[in-house]
Each structure stands twice: as C-alpha cells, then as structure tokens.
Amino acid sequence: MKTMSSSVLSLLLLLVFPSLTLSQAQTEVKAVSGIVSGEVQKVGFRAMILKQAIHLNLAGQVENLKDGTVHFTLQGAEDRIQKALANIGEGTKKSAAVRITTSAAPFNPALKTFTVIGWTSTTRGVTSPYNLVFTLRSDNLPVSDREAKKIYREILERTLSPADLKKSRDPDNE
C-alpha cells in the first residue's frame, strides 16, 4: 500500500480544513478508538470525555455500552489525543479502577463534531437520553478548562428540555 508524503497530507488537510495554518496541518492527525473499563458508568465519565474534546478541539464520540464499559473515539492532533487519553486515564472523582485500551481507528476528515450518545444523569434525575454535540472550533485552538466548562454548559442549555436543564444546574455535579 502506498503512503502519502507529509507534504501532500498537509496540503490535503489545508484543503479540507481551510482555517488551519500550515504548522497545524503539519501536526500529525490521527484517530483512536478506546474502551474504558472499571467503575466508569453513572460517574460523569462521558461528560468528562466531552469536556476533554471541547478543551482540546477533538472530534469523535463516546457512549456507554451494556457491559458497563465506555467506548470512545477521538480524532485530531496526535499530541492532543495523548493529553486527552492521559486525563481520561485519571477518571472522574467518582470513578474507580479505570483501565483504557486503545487501537488505531480510521481518520475521517469530514467529522467536525464530538458527540455524547444517549447522555443521561442519574445523580441529577435526568432520565431522558440526549445526544450532546460539540462542533469543532474553526480556529482549531485549545481552550482553558474554564472555557471548556462554559461551552459544555451551553451545549446542555441548547439540548436539554427546560425541566431537565433545571435539574442539571447543581454546580456540585458539573
């Protein structure tokens, strides 16, 4: 199988993502798929991964699986994916025994969002599942953790019903 030279790949990335600078296009982009096991459901794990995606401007998705694990995909700059994986490995305040396994995944240049599939919150009493969608920023720059939390809150505000949004306002559960 032929491989593309880095200069050709950079040019293609600039065509697909016109807002990228040449140095951003030359940063290696990749995609990974992962499974997180341990006590990782009903502990804010998917919300934490979404906040990582927002903070680092990564595309992909995350969902709970019936076997108690969490499946995710991330795509973007390799160094940002590595930062996200390190933070995911630390878990949330309520998770325990977090173990991650990852493998390479196909990169989809058309993917411009990160989605939490079927988000609910048992601690907040939100039982109707929602898809929480973050759209990548065109400047492709990371934002602070504080800004990521603000964007997360905006996603909740535009997605949840008024009743569920009211339940989600407990700052201790952010």
**Any idea which residues carry the catalytic annotation?**
46, 64
Helix axes 78-90, 45-56, angle to 10 degrees: 150
CB atoms within 10 A of CB 173: 13
Distance of CA 25 to the CA centre of its chain: 20
User: 45 in helix, strand or coil?
Assistant: helix
Distance of alpha carbon 87 from alpha carbon 78, whole angstroms:
14
